[in-house]
Structure 1
C-alpha cells in the first residue's frame, strides 16, 4: 500500500514549492536545506523548483542550490505556465489565455471594482489594466520604464494589442468580489487563491502537475519515484496526482487533507526537518 512505503526508500525526483515551503518567512532557504539539496544532487537526485513565481524571481535561488545549465534540474514557473529544462537549456511554454479571454476576465473584475488593478502576467512584461488611464498613471508608467521595470499600465482597450504569451491574470484578493463570475463566459479557465493575498487565473491547461508530469516523461520516471513538497492552492493538482506528497505545517486545509505526510511549518525549517528525520535519499 502507498502509506506503507518506507520514507528512506529513494526518490529520483524531489519537487519543492518555494514561497512558504522551501523558503523561510525571510524569503531565504536555510543553510541546512541548501547543503542537503546540494548533496542530493551530487548523488544523482533531480531537483525541481515548482513555483507560482515567474522565472526571473526564481533564478537567484539557483546559484545557492548549485542548479546550473548543463546539469539535470528543472524549473516550473508561474504555476506551470513554463518548464525550464536546465540540462538542455530549453523552455517549454504551455497553453495560454487568448487576448479575448483575458479581456473577458479583466472586464468581469473591473465591473465589480475599478480599483482592483488586475495584472496580465506575460513572459517578458506585466500589464496593470485600468478602465481609464489618468495623468498620474502615465507618470508612474514612465518612471517604471526609466527604472527598466517590466510593468506597464494600460487601458482595457489596449489588451487586444498584447502579443506576448499570457501566463495568468492576477488580482489582489477581496472577499467581497465574485471571482467565479469573471470566468462564467470563458472556456477552460480556473483560479487559485495564492498566499491568501491574491487570486491567479489560469487556462485549464496550466498547472504544476501537468508540468511535473512532463518532467517525468523526459526522465522516464514514474510518479511513485517522486516526492512533492507544497503548501498552497496552486499545489493541489500535484497533491491529487502524485502519491508521495508532504504538506507544510502552514499549508492550507485542502493541501493538509490531500497530503501523504505532513511536516513542520516553513518558519520551523519544515522541509529540511522532514528530509533528515525520515532519512530521505536518492
Structure 2
C-alpha cells in the first residue's frame, strides 16, 4: 500500500503497560520517517503530557490531542484546529463531578486542572519529579469555589476517572443525553468528555483536507473505543491484540499487543518487508 501517514494512538497502543515506547516501536517509526512518511500521534491526552514522547520519536509534523479536540503543528506550536466545550456545558460537567465526588482532570491549552486528592493527578506530579523541566506536565488543583476562574480557560476535554464500572457507566449515561457533548471510553476506568462531534476520526479528516492527503493512504493503530472513528476514516486500520472487540472488528489487521511492540511488528511485516523486497 502507498502510505503518507502513520497515525498512532498512545495508551494501550504505542505505549506499553509501563507507559514507555519500546526500542522496537521507536526504531520502526523512525524508519518510516526516514522514508518520508509522517508519524502522527493521535491521543486522548493533551500535548502537555506528550512532550517527552514527541522528543523521543523526533516528530516534526502534526499532533492530534484531546481525542481530536485540538490539532497542532509540533515545531511551531501552531493550532491547526480546535473545538472547545462551551462554558455553560463545561460548568455543568465540572459541578457534577464536585457534587458527586467524581475524580476528574480538565485539559486546557496550557494547564491540566484536577480536583484535590485525585490519585491520577498525584501520579503525574510524581512523574514530574523524574522529568527535566521541559517535559514536566503543568498541573494545578481547583476547588468548587474556583469553577468560575477555571471557566475563563478554553476547555478541550474533561477526563473522568472512575474504577467502578457500574458507576462509570452511570456517569456516561448521564452525559450521553447532553447534545453538546461527545462521551467515549478511552481505557478501563476512564471516560472522556469533549464537545459534540469531536473525535480522532474527525480531526484526521480535517487535517487531511488541509494538507490534501488521501486517507486511503493512511495506516492507523488503536486499541479502544475512542479510536473507532479513526479506524472508519483511514485506509488501513490496525488493531492491537489487547484491543476491545469493536476495534478488532473494524480493523484490517490485528497485530501483537502493546507489551509486545505490536506497532513495530505490524510496520515490519506489513510495510517495511514489502518495501525491502
**TM-score normalized with structure 1 length:** 0.81
| Counterparts in 2 of 1:109 and 1:264: CA distance versus 1, 3 Å | same
Structure 2: which 5+ residue stretches go unaligned?
Answer: 130-136
> When the two structures are aligned, how many residues end up with a matched partner?
256
Deviations along 1:171-198, one digit per CA (max 9) or x if unpaired, are 2223333224533663321211222021
Contact 1:109 1:182 in 2 (8 A): no
SS state of the match for residue 278, structure 1? helix
Q: Corresponding residue for 1:150?
A: 139
Structure 1 counterpart of 2:105, from 119, 133, 140: 119
Match of 1:172 among 123, 139, 161: 161
Q: How many angstroms does 1:65 deviate by?
A: 1.4
Q: Kindly report which structure 2 residues correspond to 1:246-257, keeping only aligned pairs within 5 A, or say none.
A: 246-257=238-249
> Could you tell me how far apart the structure 2 residues matched to 1:44 and 1:240 are?
24
Residue 134 of structure 2: aligned partner: none
Distance 1:89 1:261, change over 3 A: same
Greater Cα offset, 221-230 or 234-243: 234-243
Q: Which deviates the most, 225-234 or 206-215?
A: 206-215
| Contact residue 108 and residue 181 of structure 1 kept, 8 A | no
Query: 1:5-16, aligned counterparts within 5 Å?
Result: 9-16=1-8
- Per-residue deviation, 1:207: 1.2
Relative distance call for 1:121 and 1:62 in structure 2 (3 A) is closer
1:65 to 54, 57, 74: 57
The alignment status of 1:28 with 2:14, answered yes or no, reads no
Q: Give the secondary structure class of the aligned counterpart of 1:49.
A: strand
Contact persistence 2:48–2:110 (CA under 8 A): no
Please say which of residues 192-201 and 117-126 is displaced more in the overlay: 117-126
Normalized per residue, the structure richer in helix is: 2
CA distance in 1, matches of 2:23, 2:205: 29
CA distance in 2, matches of 1:264, 1:159: 43
**Aligned-residue offset at 1:83:** 0.9
Looking at structure 2, the residues matched to 89 and 106 of structure 1 have their Cα atoms a distance apart, in angstroms, of 28
Q: Cα distance 1:149–1:109, how it changes in 2: closer, same or farther (>3 A)?
A: closer
Question: Once superposed, which parts of structure 1, at least 4 consecutive aligned residues long, lie more than 6 Å away?
Answer: none
Counterpart of 1:64 in 2: which secondary structure? helix
**Partner SS for 1:191:** strand
Secondary structure of the equivalent of 1:264?
coil
Q: SS where residue 103 of structure 2 aligns?
A: coil
| 2:90 counterpart residue number | 102
- Contact residue 124 and residue 164 of structure 1 kept, 8 A: no
Task: After TM superposition, give the deviation of residue 222 of structure 1 in Å.
Answer: 0.9
Structure 1: distance between partners of 2:51 and 2:97: 32
- Bigger Rg, structure 1 or 2: 1
Kindly tell me: are residues 221 and 25 of structure 1, through their superposed partners in 2, closer, same or farther at Cα, counting changes over 3 Å?
A: same
Map 1:1-282 onto structure 2 (within 5 A). Answer: 9-68=1-60, 73-86=61-74, 89-110=77-98, 113=100, 115-129=101-115, 149-155=138-144, 157-161=145-149, 162-173=151-162, 174-177=164-167, 178-183=170-175, 186-280=178-272
1:120, 1:168 within 8 Å by CA — same for their partners in 2? Answer: yes
Residue-by-residue CA offset, 1:174-228 (whole Å, 9 max, x unaligned): 3333224533663321211222021111111321112111221232111101001
